[in-house]
Structure 1
Amino acid sequence: MGRLVSTQWTPDRDITGVPRRHRQPCRYDAFVPDRLVGREVLLPADVAADVSDAERAVQQLNASGLPYRGYEAIARLLLRAEAVASSRIEGLEIGGRRLARADAARELDGSPPDQGAADVLGNIDAMRAAVDDVARRPRLDVDAIRDIHRALLAGTRDASWAGTVRDRQNWIGGSSFNPCAADFVPPPPDEVEALLEDLVEYVDSDVHPPVVQAALAHAQFETIHPFADGNGRTGRALIHVVLTRRGLSPHHVPPVSLVLATRSRDYVAGLESFREDGHTGIAEWIATFAAATTEACARVSGLTDGLAELSRRWREAVGPLRAGSTVAQLLDEILPQTPVTTVAQLVRLTDRSTQAVNEAVDRLHTAGVLLQTTAGRRNRAFEVDGLIDLITGFERSQASPVGDTAVEPPARPVPQRSPNR
């Protein structure tokens, strides 16, 4: 269950602009969790069955029979949706079109995105770093977690302390001025490094089933809260480090954050149970996490079916194609995962000549598959017809407990449907 450390809060002497009652010394209890390495996990039969269901669902999601041949496209769209949902849990809201244009502009000419876009793009970068880099390292260490956090905050106003483990007490809820009335106070700073070392040693092991390991690693990370900010997003990226590293999700990340965002009360209650209720609480949290993972996998069909239909519509609009042509490559491999793009980006992604890509883009533009827009400093860019609307619709559907906002209203704020361009 962990232990409480009772500590005296002493405000800075030169603090100003704070009410007098918040400048008084006070006591608070910081929570230090038990280590994960060597921890015994006792699961009732029903929770063990939930874990088996979740692992089977992730395996099926990653099977080769997905109903769309652009395998990499689904992977990238799921990763993007997972990152955006993780950001939304933290209150970061941004429209799909604005985000896609900011991403294209950043790659095209280095245009700095606005702060809202920078925060969400940072989370997409962090998810990519977690899945494409950190999860595939031979061994994990604390620097691996710092690298995810660095990717998260790069390009934002908080980039100066990206990857820096906190050396001060932080807290959740209560007053902004002191931790004495907080809802939860993480471990004192001098406990954090040892807890992180234990965490990465645990993540580097295979003592528990992958879904159990992902659930425990995430809850432990959120309990440690090792950074001044960005802990929730980093901790949710850690879920995919575990699932990818253990070989359960080699291609497709289950959009767990989409479900956790919708069932936020269950999410918070599960984390609280993990910290407070011993074996019973751990089992309750694992059951909540496993059920969310199973549900996330089940809801992916709306995205894959929609992308297959978009692909059919694009092909029909373009007409007959020569196999292996630049247009065919763009339709099959590149455009399904690139909501807004530029000629320069397409040259890099296809490894074709600028002339070949320009000719392909002209044909796709004429057919209505690419819609001309701008990115960054009014550079010419192209939006892929229907793709942003598909992503937005998928994200909206996940906000409904039944997967359809037309049947049951959303349980949380949802992205707005795309306005006319």
Structure 2
Amino acid sequence: MDSRLGRYQLCNTTGESYRAFIPPPLPPQPSLAFDTELLALLEEANRLLGRLDGLASALPDPQLLLYQYVRKEAVLSSQIEGTQSSLSDLLIHELDEAPGVPEDDVEEVSCYVRALNHGLDRLNTLPLSLRLLREMHAVLLASGRGATKQPGEFRRSQNWLGGTRPGNAVFVPPPPEQLMDCLGSFETFLHDPQTPPLIKAALAHVQFETIHPFLDGNGRLGRLLIALLLVEARVLQYPLLYLSLHFKTNRSEYYDRLSRVRTHGDWEGWLRFFLRGVVNTAAEACDTARQIVALFDADRARLPALGRMSATALALHRHLRTRPVTNAVHATAAIGIARSSVLTAFARLTELGLVREMTGYRRNRVFAYDAYLRLLTRDTEPLPH
């Protein structure tokens, strides 16, 4: 019998029988088979991650990109779960002004940002562990639709995927009484020094999704886990890899690959899919980062021509690099210049085509650093219903 396939446990609830799946511990046995294609993908993925990390480290302020990339990943990951928020929606929401934005959706994305930031902060004092995952889950489900689904607590009841009950579900994770055994083995694997970081991140994501330890938020937390593992292993100093773009773009294959691990033990097929995503997403992130830096330099070079207004315009441009969607209140507080001067600078940057007013209002206007926002929001439109 192939030990990669796990086992099923017959369970009963309200008089109905169903089979819950209990995965074997990681790493897979028999061991992973690395053919020429898989080895080449792993080498290329590691090379491009090194380039992305080096590019970020060479920036005068890596936080410029980090702030936006974390939000891009949050939007993409939440869209996989069906939210209809865009990156622009999130950035407007963070100004406390979200006209027409689906509030539950944008709050869900905002919680994802806070959960990732909490995890990154806690890695300074706490290893990646069940405790940290529970903390992040509490932040992830602090508000919005999941707030009633036991934030920060492992489930004490059976959950399932697809269908209306465990008996007709597409997939049923381990029953509650088996959950801590599965999670204990999972945590041991997180600390395994023998498994290369990228392979560990790929395997751990599938195992977490298979165990499905929470009542809600498992998909989003499982994708957060990838970023945290790569940062903890120092493969990336900053989580600039928005891998959810690959999962969103190839959503059907994503779910099929997860399923084939459970039904066929096809870890190698999952790894090929995962590593192709790392290669493509890291290459795109490098390219986008270079374009953003070039845009900043070119736009800054245009501002001294504004004469007396140039100092205020340069200060506003610095603010827009960190907050590409902003308003006069936030900008005035950030750069410490009189509101009237800030409004004049917005007008001049609008004339130059650097800034676009988003609301059409005469008051409470919201401004976007247009070319920068277009670069950031590529591929972040919600999926069709």
1:213-362 → structure 2 map (5 Å cutoff): 213-278=200-265, 281-308=266-293, 310-312=295-297, 314-319=299-304, 328=314, 330-332=316-318, 334-342=319-327, 345-346=330-331, 354-355=336-337, 359=341, 362=344
Aligned to 1:122: 111
Aligned-residue offset at 1:390 = 2.8
Give the whole-Å Cα distance in 2 for the aligned partners of 1:358 and 1:38.
64
Aligned to 1:154: 142
- The code of the aligned residue for 1:139 comes to P
Give the whole-Å Cα distance in 2 for the aligned partners of 1:134 and 1:289.
26
* 1:313-337 Cα shifts (integer Å, max 9, x gaps): 5325532599xx67545534x4223
Aligned to 1:144: 132
* Structure 1 position 35 matched with structure 2 position 25: yes
- The code of the aligned residue for 1:54 comes to A
Aligned-residue offset at 1:126 = 2.4
- The code of the aligned residue for 2:151 comes to A
Q: Is the 8 A contact 1:150 1:162 kept in 2?
A: yes
Identity among equivalent pairs (%): 28
* Structure 1 position 87 matched with structure 2 position 70: no
Aligned-residue offset at 1:393 = 2.8
Task: For residue 143 of structure 1, give the secondary structure of its aligned residue in structure 2.
Answer: helix
Q: Is the 8 A contact 1:326 1:357 kept in 2?
A: no
Task: For residue 186 of structure 1, give the secondary structure of its aligned residue in structure 2.
Answer: coil
Q: Is the 8 A contact 2:84 2:102 kept in 1?
A: no
Change over 3 Å in CA distance of 1:258–1:146 after alignment to 2? same
Change over 3 Å in CA distance of 1:373–1:284 after alignment to 2? closer
Give the whole-Å Cα distance in 1 for the aligned partners of 2:295 and 2:239.
20
- The code of the aligned residue for 1:248 comes to V
Aligned to 2:185: 198
Q: Is the 8 A contact 2:313 2:349 kept in 1?
A: no
Change over 3 Å in CA distance of 1:172–1:75 after alignment to 2? same
Q: 1:61 aligns with which of 39, 52, 64?
A: 52
Q: Is the 8 A contact 2:111 2:141 kept in 1?
A: yes
Aligned to 2:40: 49
* 1:307-358 Cα shifts (integer Å, max 9, x gaps): 2454245325532599xx67545534x422323234565577x5x6x34687
Give the whole-Å Cα distance in 1 for the aligned partners of 2:110 and 2:169.
30
- The code of the aligned residue for 2:225 comes to L
Which shifted more, 119-128 or 338-347? 338-347
Aligned to 2:159: 170
- The code of the aligned residue for 1:393 comes to R
Change over 3 Å in CA distance of 1:66–1:198 after alignment to 2? same
Give the whole-Å Cα distance in 2 for the aligned partners of 1:318 and 1:37.
56
- The code of the aligned residue for 2:157 comes to R
Q: Which structure shows the higher helix fraction?
A: 2
Q: Is the 8 A contact 2:56 2:62 kept in 1?
A: no
Q: Is the 8 A contact 2:356 2:370 kept in 1?
A: yes
Gaps of 5+ in 2: none
Q: Structure 2-normalised TM-score?
A: 0.83
- The code of the aligned residue for 1:231 comes to N
* Structure 1 position 363 matched with structure 2 position 345: yes
Change over 3 Å in CA distance of 1:44–1:229 after alignment to 2? same
Aligned to 1:418: none
Q: Structure 1-normalised TM-score?
A: 0.77
1:11-26 → structure 2 map (5 Å cutoff): 25-26=15-16
* 1:256-301 Cα shifts (integer Å, max 9, x gaps): 11011111222112212222333xx122212211111111112224
Change over 3 Å in CA distance of 1:235–1:101 after alignment to 2? same
Count residues in correspondence: 370
Q: Is the 8 A contact 1:361 1:370 kept in 2?
A: no
Give the whole-Å Cα distance in 1 for the aligned partners of 2:188 and 2:125.
13
Aligned-residue offset at 1:124 = 2.4
Q: Is the 8 A contact 2:206 2:258 kept in 1?
A: yes
Give RMSD over aligned pairs: 3.3
Change over 3 Å in CA distance of 1:113–1:359 after alignment to 2? farther
Give the whole-Å Cα distance in 1 for the aligned partners of 2:30 and 2:330.
50
- The code of the aligned residue for 2:345 comes to R
Give the whole-Å Cα distance in 1 for the aligned partners of 2:96 and 2:234.
34
Change over 3 Å in CA distance of 1:273–1:136 after alignment to 2? farther
Which shifted more, 196-205 or 303-312? 303-312
Aligned-residue offset at 1:147 = 1.8
Aligned-residue offset at 1:134 = 4.0
Q: Is the 8 A contact 1:61 1:252 kept in 2?
A: no
Q: 1:210 aligns with which of 197, 200, 203?
A: 197
Change over 3 Å in CA distance of 1:163–1:252 after alignment to 2? closer
Give the whole-Å Cα distance in 1 for the aligned partners of 2:124 and 2:315.
28
* Structure 1 position 413 matched with structure 2 position 359: no
Aligned-residue offset at 1:305 = 4.5
Give the whole-Å Cα distance in 2 for the aligned partners of 1:283 and 1:142.
26
Change over 3 Å in CA distance of 1:341–1:113 after alignment to 2? farther
Give the whole-Å Cα distance in 2 for the aligned partners of 1:128 and 1:330.
26
Change over 3 Å in CA distance of 1:42–1:302 after alignment to 2? closer
